Amino acid sequence: MQALGRHILLELYQCNIETLNEPARIESILIEATKASGATIVSHDFHAFNPYGVSGVIIIAESHVTIHTWPEYGYAAVDIFTCGESIDPWVIQDKIASDLGSESTSTMEMKRGLFKMPQGESIHHKPLQGAIESI
Amino acid sequence: MQALGRHILLELYQCNIETLNEPARIESILIEATKASGATIVSHDFHAFNPYGVSGVIIIAESHVTIHTWPEYGYAAVDIFTCGESIDPWVIQDKIASDLGSESTSTMEMKRGLFKMPQGESIHHKPLQGAIESI
């Protein structure tokens, strides 16, 4: 079986609580981590909640990176979904976990879009440099 | 152990290929499915890729709904991440799977943000009706 995508589910416990509630800092951490992996950022969208917490998403040509923070629990849920073979999602995970100061991390990698290919044939990854249109 | 969030990973195979490549239709399907669950939509952002495929995300007050489509494989990867107890993520999953005409579906539900609470104490879900600020 071959997979179209890799999806890392990242549970970050015991993070720096102040950082978890700083929307601009969270946005910057995610963008820098994503750039460090070589992924192509298509758009990003972050929101702060009242009384606390941040939700944000970065759409990348290779799929997405999302975060939701619960400062009251010192916890952040991060998802890193990539396709293709040109970028390493673990670069993103390492940088986010470190920048949020997580002292207890749990990670799982899921394969997404599994297909049985004919012998000797590889799954076709979409060209990532193609034009991208906003809808 | 109690969980802050529920995350449904939805693998939709054998979808309607034309639908998978219609960005506006994909956006409308996800928004309608999300509304049907009673979730509060904060923002949505969809993109079409050249030569084919759509990526989209809806940030909801309760977390997020995302989709990536590979029309060339008849496949879509959908994630439904919710927190709180007021909405049912399975409403979203049923409607998206049906509207994309998927004839082979695989689903997994993950608990996100697990905490051991003192006896008799429930995990505190953030008030969902609080003000939301764009960053």
CB-based contact B42 A47, cutoff 8 Å:
yes
Q: Spell out the residues 6+ positions from residue B58 whose beta carbon is closer than 8 angstroms to its own.
A: B30, B31, B34, B41, B43, B44, B64, B65, B66
The pLDDT tens digits for A30-40 are: 999 999 999 99
B125 flagged as catalytic: no
**DSSP string covering B109-126, please?**
EEEEEEE-PPTT-PPPPP
Is pTM beyond 0.80? Reply is yes
Q: Among B23, B75, B112, select the one facing A11 at the smallest CB separation.
A: B112
CB-based contact B47 A135, cutoff 8 Å:
yes
Would the pLDDT of A126 be above 70?
no
Interface of B with A in 57-86 (CB under 8 A): 57, 59, 61, 63-64, 66, 68, 70, 72-73, 75, 77, 79, 81, 83
What is the reported pLDDT for B72?
93
Q: Spell out the residues 6+ positions from residue A105 whose beta carbon is closer than 8 angstroms to its own.
A: A10, A11, A12, A13, A97
CB-based contact B66 A43, cutoff 8 Å:
no
B43 flagged as catalytic: no
What is the reported pLDDT for B106?
96
More confident residue, A122 or A46: A46
What's the whole-number mean pLDDT along residues A54-64? Answer: 95
- Looking only at the bridges linking them, the beta strands covering A54-60 and A132-134 are unpaired
What is the reported pLDDT for A121?
83
| Residue A75 to residue B95: CA distance in whole angstroms | 31
Go through the domains of chain B in sequence order and give each one's CATH number. 2-134 (3.60.90.10)
What is the reported pLDDT for B129?
47
Q: Spell out the residues 6+ positions from residue B15 whose beta carbon is closer than 8 angstroms to its own.
A: B69, B74, B75, B76, B100, B101, B102, B103
Q: Which tokens is B37 given?
A: 């669950």
Q: At what angle do helices B89-99 and B23-36 cross, to 10 degrees?
A: 150
- Checking ipTM against 0.90, whether it exceeds it is yes
The pLDDT tens digits for A89-103 are: 999 999 999 999 999
User: Mind listing the pLDDT tens digit of every residue in chain B (135 residues)?
Assistant: 899 999 999 999 999 999 999 999 999 999 999 999 999 999 999 999 888 899 999 999 999 999 999 999 999 999 999 998 889 999 999 999 999 999 999 999 999 999 998 888 888 766 554 556 666
CB-based contact A47 B135, cutoff 8 Å:
yes
More confident residue, B105 or A85: B105
